[in-house]
Chain A
Amino acid sequence: MEIKIYFLVVSFAFSNLLNAQDLPFEMETFDFDKGKYKEAIGFIDDGDDAFDMEYFNSALKFYLKANELNPENSELNYKIGLSYLNSSDRFLCLEFFEKSFQLNRGINTDIHLMLARGLQLNMKFDEAINEYKAHMGILSPQELTEQKEMVEKFIYECQVGKELIDMPANSFVDNVGDEINTAFHEHSPLISADESMLIFTSTRDNGRKMDDEDHYDEDIYLSYKLGKVWEKPENIGEPVNTQFNDATVGLSPDGQKLLIYNGNKGNGDIQECSLNGDEWKYPKNLPKEINSDYKESSACFSPDGNKLFFISERPDGYGGKDIYVSRKNAKGKWSESRNLGNFVNSPYDEETVFIHPDGRKLYFSSKGHNGMGGYDIFVSYLNENSAWSAPENMGYPVNSPDDDLCFVISADGRHGYFSSVRGDSYGGLDIFRTTFLGPEKPLTLCNEDNLIAVSVNPISEEVMEESVELKTIRLTIVKGLVSDAFTDEPVFANIDIVDNNTGEVIFTSQTNSATGRFLVTLPSGKNYALTVKADDYLFHSENFDIPPATEYQEIEKLIGLSNLKKDAKIVLNNVFFETGSAKLKPTSYAELGRLTKLLNDHPKLIIEISGHTDNKGSKVTNQKLSENRAKSVVDFLVSEGVDTLRLQFKGYAFDQPIADNSTSQGRAKNRRVEFKIVEN
C-alpha cells in the first residue's frame, strides 16, 4: 500500500514536470503585483477586442505584449497562434500552438487541426499528417462528415508537398529586396518584356487608411531598374490610382496597356488604362462580355492582344473562381466569355492568370489540382489541338504551403515574379523573383568495379616447364690388389682410367703403398682401359667395356706386375681389331701409345709382339690372322718411331691359350695380343 501511494505521488509530480505549468492570468501569477497584472489583463482585453473585429494584426500586437508578461498561458498562446493563422505571417502560428498544447493538451478540441496547419505551413509534412489524422480521430460523426473533405485535402496537400520538396524545381527564389518590398503588402507584379520596368500593387502608407488596423488602401506603383538595382518606386498616380483599392492586374507585351482591378466598380471589375506618351489615360471598364455582375479579379492579354484571359467568380464555373477567355474580333468587339474548362479549372478557386509572350503557356494560381497548400502556381501548355494541357505544379521553391500568386514571367523565360509570404519577407505579402535554370541538371555519380578478377587477384599459375629427369647410369666398382708377380709383395703403382674412345685419361689413382689395394668407380656407358704402372715394372692394362645399361657391379682384380726382365710379358688388353681382320681399331691407340712410351723410356728393350686366337676356325686361318695382327701392332710402333730392330712379331694361332676355349669368355681372353721382353 505505501509503495503504491508513493508511486502515484512520484508519477503525478513527474507528469507535472513534463507538462509545464499553465499559468493563468491571476494575481498570484504576477506575484501579486497589481500593476503588472492589470497591464497584462488590459493587453488581453484589447487583443480580444481586435480579434473579435478580425483586426488580427492589431490583436497580435496586444497579445504578444501580454505574452511577454506571462508566456506560460495556454489560452493566450492559442489565441496568438490563431491570430497568426489569420494574418499574412501564417507560418508563425506553429510555435504558439505547440506551446499552448504543451501547457494544456485539452486547450481546444481543434488543437490538433491547428497544430497540423502550423506544421504544414512550416513544411513539416509528416508531422502535419499525423496531427490531421489525430484531429479526425476525435471528431464526432457529424463533425467528421462536415470536415472530412477539408482535412483530407490538407493531408493530400502535405503528401504533394513531400513530393515537391523531394524533387525541387531547378530554380532560385529571391526576395526582390527592400527597394520594392516594405512592411506592408506588395503583390501583383507586372514586368516589361525586358524586365526594366516593374509595376506592382502595395498597401504602403499612401495617406488613406482603410481601417483601424493601419491598413492603407491599395495603390499602384512603378519602378525602373538601373543596372541590378530597382529605383525607388513611385506612385503611378491619378487617374490610375483612386481613393479606393487599385491593384495591378495585367500589362500588354508592348507595355502600352495596363489592366487594373477596381474594387469599387460592381463587385470588383477589371479596367484598362492606355499609356499616352508617359501619361496613363483614364481607366476604362472592360465590356460586359468580361466584367459580369460578379467579381473579376485578374486578367491578361494574349500576345496579339486579341484574347483576354481573366478570373471570374461568376456561378457557371467549376467551383469558386475560374479562368475564362474572351476573343476580340476584327471590329474590336469582345466575344462572350468562355470557361477554359475543367481540365484547367478545378473545383476550387483559380486566381491571377498570365499568358507567356509566346502565347503557349498559361500561368495561374489555384487552390486545387496538386498543390501543397493555399494557392499554388501552375502552368498549362497549349497543344497542337489548341487545347490546354493538364496544369503542372511549378514546384518548390516557387510554390510554398502558403499562398503563391500573381505569377508573371519575362519574355526570355529566365525570370518569373510572383507574390508570397516567406521567411525573408519584409512584412505581409512580398514580391519575389524566381530564376529558372532550365531543365533539371542531374548530378552524375562515378563508380567502378573490379569486373575482371585477375586485375586484383593475379593467377598464380606459372608458365613453366618442369625439371627434366637426368639420365643416370650405374657404377662399376673395380677394386683389387697390385703386387709383384714374383714375390706377391704389394706394389705402389699409379692407376690410370682411360676412355678408349678418346684416349683421354679421365681419372688417376694410386694403390695403397702398404697394401697395394685400389678401388676405382667406372660409370656405365664407356670403354675403359685401366692401366697400372709402377717403376721398374711392365705396365699392366685391363679393359672394361661397360655398356650404358649395365647394372651395378663390383669387379675384383688381382694384378701382378712383372719386372722389366727378359721373358716378362703382359697382355695388351686394350688393343682391339676389326672382326676377322688385322686392322687396328682406334680404341687401341691409347694402349699402343703406352707401349710406345715404355719402349721410349727403356731404349734397350727388345720385345716380341705375339698374336693369339681362340680355337674357332682353321689353324691356317688363325695362324695367318694372329701373325698379321702382331705385325699390325709392330707397324704401329714403327710408325711411332720405334726402331724396327727392337721389334719382333709372331703369330701363335690358338697354340697358347690362357683360358678355356669352351666358353665365350675364355675364347675372348684367348683372342689377344701380348708383348714379351726378349732382351733388356
Chain B
Amino acid sequence: MCKPIFILLVIVCAWNNVIAQDTTLVVAENQEAEIAFNKGNSLYQAGDYNGAIAAFTEALTFNQTFEKAIINRASAYSKLNNFVQAIVDFELAIKINPTNNLAWYGKGIAHYSRAQKSEAENSFQQAIYNGLKNDNVYYYAGVVAFENGELEKALENYTQAINYNPKNALAFNDRGSVKRSMQKYTEAIEDYKAAIKIDPKMGIVYNNIGSAKWKSGDLDAALLDYGVAIRLDPTYFIALNNRASVRFEMKDFEGAIIDCEKAISINPDYAYAYNNMGNAKAKLKNYAGAEKDYTKAIQLNTNFAIAYLNRGICRERLRNFEGAVDDWEMAKVLGISKAESYIKFYD
C-alpha cells in the first residue's frame, strides 16, 4: 500500500522540480520593451485593459516600431469600446508593416463595430490578401457582404469560413440566412440544422429555422421551432413575436396576443410586438384595443410606417375615416406606396 503512494510522491516532486523556476537563468538586458509587452498581455488577460494599454505604451517607448505592442494596445482599446483609438493603432501597425494581416483584421473588426461597413470590408479583404487564413476573417467578410446585400459574395465567404472550420456554428447560421434571403429555404434549413448540431443551445438558429419554415409555408413546423428557441431562452422576445405572427396566420388570434404580451413583458419597448398585437385584436374585431396598440407602437417608433398603415385600416373600421386618411398620409410619407391607393379611395 505504501509503494504506490511513494511512487506518486516521487512523481509529484519531480514534476514540481521541472516546473520550478531555474535560478541560474536571468532575463538578458535590453529587453525592456518585451518585458513591458508581456506585462501588458498579463494585464489584458486579467481584464485590466487600462493597465494593459499603459504597459503596451511603455513598451513602445523602448521600441516605437514594436508592431505586436501596437496591435495588442489596439485590442485593449477595443475592449474598452474605444474603437476610434483602436483603429488609429491598427493603422499605425499597418504603416509600419503594410502586410500585417492581423492588424488589417483587427482594423476590420473595429470598423465593423463602428458600422463602417465599407472600411470594414476593405480591411478584411486586405487581411485575406495578406495571408490571414482563419475562419473568422472570412466569417466577418461574409457578414459585411450580407449586410450590404451582396448575397453571392456573402455565400462565398461563409463557405470559406466553414471550409477552414467545419465547426463554425455562426458561419452555418449566417449562410443559412443568406440562402433564406435567396428563398432557398430547404438549403437554408440544412445549414441551420448544421449549426444546431454544432451548438444545440443556439436559440437564434431555432428561431431562424422557424422563420425559414414559415416562409416556405410550413406553419406547424415553424411554431415548433420557435417554441424550442423560446424554451432555450424564455426571454427571447424576437422568437415570441415571430411565433405570435405564425399564430396570427393560423388564425389563432388569441394565441398571437398571448405571445405578443409575453414579448412586451420582456421588452416593453418592442414596437413590433405592439403592432402585431394590434393586428390580432383587429382580427378579433377589437378595433379600439387594436388602435391603442398601434398608437403605442408609433410612440415607440415615430417612423413606424407599417404601424401607421395598420392603424389607418383600424380607424377605417372604427369609421374614423379622417383619422384613417391622416395615418395613410403618414405611411405614404414614410415610404409605403400602397397607402396612396387607400387615400385615393377617399378623395
Contacts and interface: CB of A to CB of B under 8 A. Distances in A.
Verify that A and B bind, or say they do not: yes
Interface of A: 166, 172, 437-439, 441, 443-454, 456-457, 459, 461-468, 470-475, 521, 523, 525, 548, 552
Contacts of B38: 467-468, 470
B26 interface: yes
B72 A452 contact: no
Contact of A446 (B27, B105, B275): B275
Contacts of B169: 453
Contacts of B173: 453
Contact of A172 (B146, B195, B202, B319): B319
Contacts of B275: 445-446
Interface string B246-280: 00100100000000000000000001100110010
B194 interface: no
28 contacts: A166-B251, A437-B345, A438-B341, A438-B342, A443-B279, A443-B282, A443-B310, A444-B309, A447-B245, A449-B177, A449-B242, A450-B207, A453-B202, A454-B174, A457-B204, A459-B136, A459-B139, A461-B136, A463-B75, A463-B106, A470-B35, A471-B31, A472-B27, A473-B27, A474-B26, A475-B24, A523-B26, A548-B28
Contact of B313 (A443, A448, A452): A443
Nearest to B22: A472
Nearest to A461: B136
A438 B345 contact: yes
A448 B272 contact: yes
Interface string B1-42: 000000000000000000000001111110100110110011
B241 interface: yes
Contacts of B180: 451
A444 B28 contact: no
B156 interface: no
Nearest to A460: B136
A217 B342 CA distance: 45
A160 B24 CA distance: 97
Given A463-B105, A475-B24, A447 B342 contact: no
Nearest to B272: A446
Given A449-B177, A452-B174, A462-B75, 13 more contacts: A166-B251, A437-B345, A443-B310, A446-B276, A447-B245, A447-B272, A451-B174, A451-B180, A452-B143, A457-B204, A467-B38, A468-B34, A473-B28
B139 A454 contact: yes
Contacts of B31: 470-471
Interface in B166-184: 169-170, 173-174, 177, 180-181
Interface in B119-165: 136, 139-140, 143, 146-147
Contacts of B24: 474-475, 552
Interface string B217-253: 0000000000000000000001001100100100100
Interface in B272-308: 272, 275-276, 279, 282-283, 306-307
Contacts of A443: 279, 282-283, 310, 313
Nearest to A466: B41
Contacts of B319: 172
Contacts of B272: 446-448
A449 B27 CA distance: 54
Given A443-B279, A470-B38, A464 B177 contact: no
A172 B38 CA distance: 78
Given A449-B238, A451-B146, A465 B102 contact: yes
B181 to A, nearest CB: 8
Nearest to A521: B26
A463 B177 contact: no
For chain B, what secondary structure do more than half of its interface residues adopt (helix, strand, loop), or is it mixed? helix
Interface residues of B, number: 68
Nearest to B90: A463
B271 to A, nearest CB: 8
B44 interface: yes
B71 interface: yes
Contact of A453 (B72, B170, B283): B170
Contacts of B208: 449-451
Contacts of A439: 341
Nearest to B86: A463
B102 A470 contact: no
A175 to B, nearest CB: 15
A548 B319 CA distance: 95
A676 to B, nearest CB: 37
B338 to A, nearest CB: 9
A473 B27 CA distance: 6
B28 A471 contact: yes
A537 B211 CA distance: 95
A449 B207 contact: yes
B109 interface: yes
A78 B68 CA distance: 96
Nearest to A468: B34
Contacts of A448: 238, 241, 272
Nearest to B336: A444
10 smallest A-B Cβ distances: which pairs?
A451-B177, A465-B68, A463-B106, A453-B170, A450-B204, A471-B28, A552-B24, A446-B272, A438-B345, A467-B38
Interface in B57-95: 67-68, 71-72, 74-75, 78
A456 B174 CA distance: 12
Contacts of B139: 454, 459
B316 A473 contact: no
Contacts of B42: 467
B71 A463 contact: yes
A452 B26 contact: no
A446 B25 contact: no
A616 B181 CA distance: 90
A441 B313 contact: yes
B27 to A, nearest CB: 5
Given A448-B238, A449-B211, A472 B28 contact: yes
Contacts of B34: 468, 470
Kindly name the residue among B24, B71, B169, B313 whose own CB sees the greatest number of chain A CB atoms within 10 A: B24
B146 A452 contact: yes
Contacts of A473: 25-28
Contacts of B140: 454
A444 B249 CA distance: 11
Given A449-B208, A523-B28, A464 B71 contact: yes
A272 B169 CA distance: 81
Given A449-B238, A470-B38, A454 B28 contact: no
A655 B275 CA distance: 111
A450 B238 contact: yes
Contacts of B195: 453
Given A449-B211, A453-B174, A474 B71 contact: no
A468 B241 contact: no
B75 A464 contact: yes
Contact of A464 (B44, B174, B211, B316): B44
B169 to A, nearest CB: 7
B132 to A, nearest CB: 10
A439 B275 CA distance: 22
A459 B170 contact: yes
B204 A456 contact: yes
A444 B327 CA distance: 14
A463 B109 contact: yes
B291 to A, nearest CB: 13
Contacts of B25: 472-475
A582 B276 CA distance: 100
Nearest to B70: A465
B143 A454 contact: yes
A468 B35 CA distance: 8
Contact of A525 (B29, B68, B75, B276): B29
Kindly name the residue among A443, A461, A475 whose own CB sees the greatest number of chain B CB atoms within 10 A: A443
B72 A445 contact: no
Contacts of A451: 146, 174, 177, 180-181, 208
A238 to B, nearest CB: 41
B202 A447 contact: no
Nearest to B209: A449
